[in-house]
Amino acid sequence: MEKKRRTSIFEKLLLIVGFLVLIMGYFFINKVFIAEGYKVSWGFLQTVFLWLLMVIFIILLAIGEDIKEGILLEQLDEIRKLKEEIIKGKNR
């Protein structure tokens, strides 16, 4: 049976920050593009590239947090099972 886990406060904050980075970055990049007269410059390309790197970093951070939580839950289950086996062994 698959156990469902709750999302942590860190994951909720990461989701909010991720959406803010996506939305604010898009609007700022759009503003700069309009201000430069709809031309692509090196500064514009660097800004877009750095914004995409931030988005990728936030996604990787969320994936890493999810993997860490999954590993911790598996270890907790294993420790509980070991504890039960030890208790059963003492009672014999």
Encode pLDDT of 5-24 as tens digits: 778 898 899 999 999 999 99
Q: Is the pLDDT of residue 42 over 90?
A: no
Domain positions in the chain are 10-91
Asked if 32 and 47 touch (Cβ cutoff 8 Å), the reply is: yes
Give, for 40, the enclosing helix (H) or strand (E): none
pLDDT for the residue numbered 2: 65
Encode pLDDT of 47-69 as tens digits: 899 999 999 999 999 999 989 98
When the pLDDT of each residue in the chain is averaged and rounded to a whole number, the result is 89
pLDDT for the residue numbered 7: 83
Q: What percent of the chain has pLDDT over 70?
A: 96
